[in-house]
Amino acid sequence: MATDKPIRIGVMGCADIARKVSRAINLAPNAVIAAVASRSLEKAKSFASANGYPESTKIHGSYESILEDPEADALYVPLPTSLHVEWAIRAAEKRKHILLEKPVAMNVAEFDKIVAACEANGVQIMDGTMWVHNPRTAKLKEFLSVPERFGQLKSAQSCFSLPGDENFLKNNIRVKPDLDGLGALGDTGWYAIRATLLANNFELPKTVTAFPGAVRNESGVILSCGASLSWEDGKTATIYCSFLADLAMDITAIGTKGTLRVHDYILPYKETEASFITSTKAWFNDLVTAWVDPPSEHTVKTASARSVYVGEIKNKGAKPDVFWPSISRKTQLVVDAVKESLDKNYEQISLSGR
């Protein structure tokens, strides 16, 4: 299905995260940056030059303008979450494929509108959860899927915390109710929830219950929270996300026969390789003084990670792949349920029928 012509990406907004994604696009063999937009021409221009954009990149001084650009096959949208529903729909209506930063929307109702617009216009949508495209993630899924190595999942714990400094906690868009109003839940929690869903083969939980002890800022934006998720068959998971704690991004998934541990699932310690730890049927020696078959570490080369990041959209050709919006939607559903539980004093929220 791959075509020879590289996909031409328009970058719609000059957020900090767009620097990293721009680099990824520049490194990808099958993608090229064709255009960039900001609300000011000046800002777009200096962003383009600071991030090594090609000379040919079209510079747009408004989001409306980049939507009309015939040179852009797809748009990367790192705008604040509250703007997603408007601009993603407008992009779809202009038949642009969309790489939408996470969280994809303020709630699943908004996202459903975006998906409807994409379907109506035959364009692919995919969210910005970059780590699922890392070659290591395929290895994690492989381990989790082999009955003799991992068995059936029983418990998954995932987290993503980062320490916001004074400036971040005061001024970052992710703590502003009118911009990224889902706060840490929508930002770092999105990844932790996605990790949990991935470990559960994307089966939605039956219930979601937030933990007591969530922290909000004075505007009510979530700075730190956690939740438990449960499935029909006694599987449980927990997620934890925070802007108030040290950098940590861990998955611990315990199955009936094996255990998986990842300490850097979102961004590997190194750019060129990534590790994970597995064990299968580890046990103790006779006198319980040491382990037999203790966990072992595995390393995956990740040199190609950056091209995979962008390539997924292009190689699907004309027919969009419904898998990507389906997992975005499930992630958003769980985000919404955690928020609902928090808003309802930690009530247990059922996801049946959602």
Cα–Cα dist 269/53, whole Å: 27
Least distance between a copy of itself and beta carbon 327 (Å): 22
Cis peptide before 212 (omega within 30 of 0): no
Cβ distance to a copy of itself smaller for residue 65 or 304:
304
Q: 94 or 206: whose CB is closer to a copy of itself? A: 206
Region at 350 (left for phi over 0; alpha for psi -120 to 50; beta for the rest): beta
Q: How far is the CB of 200 from a copy of itself (least distance, A)?
A: 12
Measured in degrees and rounded to the nearest 5, phi and psi for residue 168 equal: -60, -50
Which pair of structure tokens corresponds to residue 234? 């006694």
Nearer to a copy of itself, 50 or 120 (CB): 50
Q: Which is nearer to a copy of itself, 105 or 199 (CB)?
A: 199
Cα–Cα distance between 135 and 304 in angstroms, integer?
8
Q: How far is the CB of 213 from a copy of itself (least distance, A)?
A: 3
Other CB atoms within a 10 A radius of the CB of residue 313 amount to 23
SS3 per-residue string spanning 128-163:
CCHHHHCHHHHHHHHHHHCCCCCCCEEEEEEEEEEE
State whether residue 228 is helix, strand or coil: strand
Q: How far is the CB of 207 from a copy of itself (least distance, A)?
A: 5
Write out the two tokens for 165: 């400094």
* CB contact at 8 A, 224 and 246: no
Beta carbon nearer to a copy of itself, 179 or 215: 215
Q: Residue 174, SS3?
A: helix
List residues bridging with 222 in a β-sheet. 216
Of 161 and 331, which CB lies nearer to a copy of itself in the complex structure? 161
Nearest distance, CB of residue 4 and a copy of itself, angstroms = 28
For a copy of itself, the closer CB: 138 or 244 = 244
Please give the residue ranges that form the binding site for a copy of itself (CB under 8 A). Answer: 19-20, 23, 151, 154-155, 157, 159, 161, 163, 206-207, 209, 211-215, 224, 226, 228, 230-231, 234-236, 238, 240, 242, 244-248, 250, 252, 254-259, 261, 263-264, 267-271, 277, 279-284, 287-291, 294-295, 346, 348
Q: What is the CA radius of gyration of the chain?
A: 21
Find the shortest distance in angstroms from Cβ 326 to a copy of itself: 24
Least Å distance, CB 231 to a copy of itself, is: 7
